[in-house]
């Protein structure tokens, strides 16, 4: 396992449509392992393959640091409600912006054995699933921000 370099906004790879995964090859398994390692190293909540330069529909999420979630070919089936809150992204370091997202998301995805499963999430998990699926479609959260992009550091000061 190794960490991979996280691509930053302005890198064209972040604006491309990713391809469906058809098979978890050893090479893809290595990508998945590296994505988790990179996610934990960077203290992120989620990471999508294009953020490490790979145009495949692979997402890793962990909203608590203890709940690793792999989503291959995730597809949002259902959403409801609304939440408005600050969001950040490892590809936009140091910045946050307010994005409205559904408060509940149900998605279909595949695991490392390419077995389908459904995942339901509310609040942060719902937000993370939407954010990461957007990455797979070449969309960064900054396109959806209302209000200014702020320094995450200033935000923390405000909350204290
Ligand atoms: Ni992101």
DSSP 5: P
- Rounded distance between C-alpha atoms, residue 49 and residue 73, angstroms: 11
pTM of the shown model: 0.96
Residue 87 CA, ligand 1 centroid: distance in Å: 9
Identify the pLDDT of residue 159. Answer: 54
Contact of 119 with 79, CB cutoff 8 Å: no
Calculate how far, in angstroms, residue 31's C-alpha sits from the geometric centre of ligand 1.
Answer: 17
> Which candidate in 66, 120, 132, 159 is catalytic?
132
Q: What separation in Å is there between the alpha carbon of 81 and the centre of ligand 1?
A: 22
Q: How many CA atoms lie within 13 A of 75 on its CB side?
A: 9
Mean per-residue pLDDT, 63-90? 97
Mean pLDDT score of the chain: 96
Annotated active-site residue 8? The verdict is no
């Amino acid at each position: 396992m190794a960490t991979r370099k996280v691509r930053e906004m302005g890198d064209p790879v972040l604006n491309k449509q990713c391809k469906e995964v058809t098979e978890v090859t050893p090479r893809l398994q290595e990508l998945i392992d590296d994505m988790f390692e990179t996610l934990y190293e960077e203290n992120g909540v989620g990471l999508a393959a294009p953020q490490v330069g790979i145009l495949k529909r692979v997402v890793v999420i962990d909203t608590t640091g203890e709940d690793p979630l792999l989503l291959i070919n995730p597809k949002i089936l259902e959403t409801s409600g609304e939440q408005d809150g600050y969001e950040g992204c490892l590809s936009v370091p140091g910045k946050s912006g307010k994005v409205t997202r559904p408060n509940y998301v149900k998605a279909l995805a595949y695991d490392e054995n390419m077995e389908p499963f459904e995942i339901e999430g509310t609040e942060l998990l719902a937000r993370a699933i939407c954010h990461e699926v957007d990455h797979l479609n070449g969309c960064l959260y900054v396109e959806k921000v209302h209000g200014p992009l702020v320094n995450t550091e200033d935000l923390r000061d405000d909350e204290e």
